[in-house]
Structure 1
Amino acid sequence: MTSITCSGKPRTSREQSMPWPSLEQRNDERGSRMARADLLLALVESGAGGDDLAFRRAAEALIAEENAKKHVILASQLADALTRRRKPGSNVSPLTRPQESAGLLHETEPMRRLTDLVLPSTVRQATADLVEEHHRRDLLRSHGVEPRHRVLLEGPPGSGKTTLAETIATEVAVPLLTVRYEGLIGSFLGETASRLDALFSAVRIRPCVLFFDEFDAVAKERGDTHETGEIKRVVSSLLLQVDRLPSHVIVVAATNHAELLDRAVWRRMQIRLSLPNPTRAGRIEWLRAWSARTGVRFGKSERTIADRLSDVSYAELEDFARDVQRRQILDGFDADPSSVTDRLLNMWVHRSRPVSDG
């Protein structure tokens, strides 16, 4: 039976061998066309109407879209043109050139996948939902809705906050940009706020995950009487900059001390996730997954190891597993894995610990 296309013409043999696109794919393609049309319309309307801020945002979104498509030369040319465009008397900051933001960000290529992580089911689902929103952002935008892009992660050290930020970047297929506080925080009045402006200006035109580790260092509660007026101005500037970021920049803020964060931070974060220390079941699951992924055998049951390392974080558990792998390589792969693991377990159980406040 001959297959007929929507136009009434018979499909060729090559077309017949190709599956029909699903309803979801057709909706996404339609959404992509509508979103780009809306973006171009906004660009022309804001330019013709003299709305400098709206023009800037539309242009930044267009540049980010070209960056996402790997049209690097065109994106660079558009960014240069936008950098040169500055209306007299405009209060919109010009784009920051890359050299002006040097030292403020550390860029890495993310590698971790969501399937590699052991997470509470609610955290895993929330992360998967966020990733889907960004994969299908054109469909959302065709309905006038933006994907969520502000995430707060809180939990004890080593609970996987940095790893989850990297995972989000991997799954969305964008670079991970980590804020460098040593380059951001200045000693002179107004210096930090100025550098914040340069940092956010540099990231606005590229799809990325912007990661703030130890977010409480720059987003402390402004009602704290022990903090200086300068810190309070920095927090106000930071929150304003976060508000202005387009949705193609996913801000992930992590903290070990959620109680120190300014209350306005909580209101701005669209997704707030708690990452606890691993349970016994979580440790067992992580060890099994790591062994399957690397091919390294412990020679002991994961339950035994999890019970011996009852007070470790996920980060420490990975350190232990790496120690076993390293030792097996040095001892030779004909060495008994059980004795290697036993030796390292004894060392880990008797390792130094931080002195408690009590």
Structure 2
Amino acid sequence: MATAKHLIGLVKSHAEGDQDRFFDLAMQLAATEQQKGHNRLAEQLRQWAEAAQQPKTKSSSNLTTLVEPRGDLAGLLSASYPSYRLNDLILPDFLAEELDHIVAEVHLTERLEEKGLRPRLRLLLSGPPGTGKTFSAQALAGELNFPLFSVQLNGLITKFMGETAQKLRMIFDAVRTTRGVYLFDEIDALAATRSSENDVGEARRILNSFLQYLDEDTGPSLIIATTNLPEILDRAILRRFDLVLPYELPSKEAVEKAIQKRLLNFDTHNVDWQNVSNAAKSLSVADVVVAAEDAARRSVLLDKNYIETSQLLNSMERRRKLHSLGTHIHEPQATSSDNSSSGRKKTL
């Protein structure tokens, strides 16, 4: 890791505004970490050092300006300014590295464009609920210091012919004129396959409009879509995204990391992590974190500053039962009528 001399030099040069000295020290530190075999850390240090050397363009000077959708857009977009960073995510290394590269590409857009390249600005995150897809969008916005605009699908999709396409046009006009991260969460409602047996003409028009607007988009915003059901997406959608990232349920290592990260204020030295990880099978990271918080609250109420294995196991079992109950509640009720399925509504 960095020596005290390096760290003092970095902080001193930053405080004095000496960008050249800061860059030199950062590159030296990257070389040192490379020699130690810390390749990923070295690459990140080089990327951020080089990004800091890039001149600030006029378009980037107002990236932190607080903006709030107004008028018709107020019912279509909600704005937030996440404080999360990529280091807050608990993801497999290959996903973390891809997201790191996305950030670097955005920061070094001019360098890429000089070589006839462009940063990847359209991402599709696919996987089960609770695996970190929406959290990743928030972390990217926080890392880039961009506002996060979440598309309100309940305000976007209407029963009136042509109205949804008009609203989509408004959103993509904002994508072009107001730089930010635009999140289409659970995009299945917009992008289900056009060959679906339940498809109607308006659904096809909405999808075609969405595809057209994606084709016309040339930046500078980051568009992120998420889906829990990749198998129902129209194949044409996949071709419109620069990168499709598969999110999965956590490994045993990720389960332990997520719990320990959430329970920093508690003593977890006596926890049987093997037992806990086995009990977390089929639970998402979000489920694991909620279970850890539940165990922590119960410890506080018992005036304890430590977490026991049994507490975590019981919390996970309660979480699993709640999941089972929720699934049962949302299952369509069977009836004796052959036509009963025609009135069922899909829960998004």
Note closer, same or farther for the CA distance 1:205–1:330 as it changes in structure 2 (3 Å cut). farther
Residue equivalent to 1:68: 63
Structure 2: which amino acid aligns with 1:323?
Answer: D
SS at match of 1:303: helix
Aligned-pair distance for 1:344?
3.1
1:1-358 correspondence runs (5 A)? 19=21, 21-22=23-24, 32=55, 64-68=59-63, 70=65, 98-291=70-263, 294-298=264-268, 300-333=271-304, 337=308, 340-341=311-312, 343-345=314-316, 347-348=318-319, 350-351=321-322, 353=324, 354-355=327-328
- Distance in 1 of aligned mates of 2:227 and 2:314: 34
Q: Is residue 288–residue 302 contact of structure 1 (8 Å, CA) maintained in 2?
A: no
Identity %: 28
What is the rounded CA distance, in whole Å, between the counterparts of 2:137 and 2:167 in structure 1?
A: 23
Once residues 289 and 17 of structure 2 are traced to their aligned partners in structure 1, the CA distance between those partners, rounded to angstroms, is 49
- Cα deviation for residue 67 of structure 1 reads 2.5
Residue 236 of structure 1: CA displacement? 1.0
> What amino acid does structure 2 have at the position aligned with 1:261?
L
User: How much is the aligned-residue C-alpha RMSD, in angstroms?
Assistant: 3.2
Q: Deviations over 1:79-120 (max 9, x none)?
A: xxxxxxxxxxxxxxxxxx831201111222223322222222
Cα offsets for 1:133-184 (capped at 9, x unmatched): 0122232234443211000111111121111111211221212111111111
Q: CA deviation at 1:27?
A: 6.8
Q: Which runs of 5+ in 1 are unaligned?
A: 1-13, 37-61, 77-96
Kept after mapping to 1: 8 A contact 2:19/2:53: no
Q: Distance in 1 between matches of 2:284 and 2:222?
A: 26
Q: CA deviation digits over 1:275-305, x for unaligned, max 9?
A: 11112232123223333xx323345233322
The 3-state SS of whatever aligns with 1:112 is coil
Q: Distance in 1 between matches of 2:303 and 2:22?
A: 54
> Which structure has the greater CA radius of gyration?
1
In 2, are the aligned partners of 1:287 and 1:302 still within 8 Å (CA)? no
Offset, 1:200: 1.7
In 2, the alpha carbon distance for the partners of 1:170 and 1:16 equals 26
Shift of 1:340: 4.5
Go from structure 1 to structure 2 and tell me whether the alpha carbon gap of 1:241 and 1:30 turns closer, same or farther (over 3 Å shift). same
Query: How many pairs were matched up?
Result: 291
Unaligned 5+ runs, structure 2: 1-15, 28-45, 333-348
Give the 3 Å change call, closer, same or farther, for CA 296–66 of structure 1 in structure 2.
same
CA contact under 8 A between 2:125 and 2:246: conserved in structure 1? yes
Maintained 8 Å contact 2:180/2:221: yes
Q: Secondary structure at the match of 2:21?
A: coil
Write the distance in 2 (CA, Å) between the matches of 1:226 and 1:346: 38
CA distance 1:202–1:20, change in 2 (3 Å) = closer
Structure 2 vs 1, CA of residues 144 and 295 (structure 1 numbering), >3 Å: closer, same or farther?
Answer: same
Select the structure with the greater relative contact order (CA < 8 A; seq sep ≥ 6).
1
TM-score, normalised with respect to structure 1: 0.71
Q: Any conservation in 2 of the 1:154–1:274 contact (CA below 8 Å)?
A: yes
Kept in 1: contact 2:90–2:254 (CA 8 A)? yes
Q: What is the SS of the residue equivalent to 1:68?
A: coil
Task: Report the 3-state secondary structure (helix = DSSP H, G, I; strand = E; otherwise coil) of the residue aligned with 1:323.
Answer: helix
How far apart, CA to CA, are the structure 2 residues paired with 1:29 and 1:18? 10
Check conservation: 1:31, 1:141, Cα contact below 8 A: no
8 Å Cα contact 1:31-1:142 kept in structure 2: no
- TM-score, normalization: structure 2? 0.73
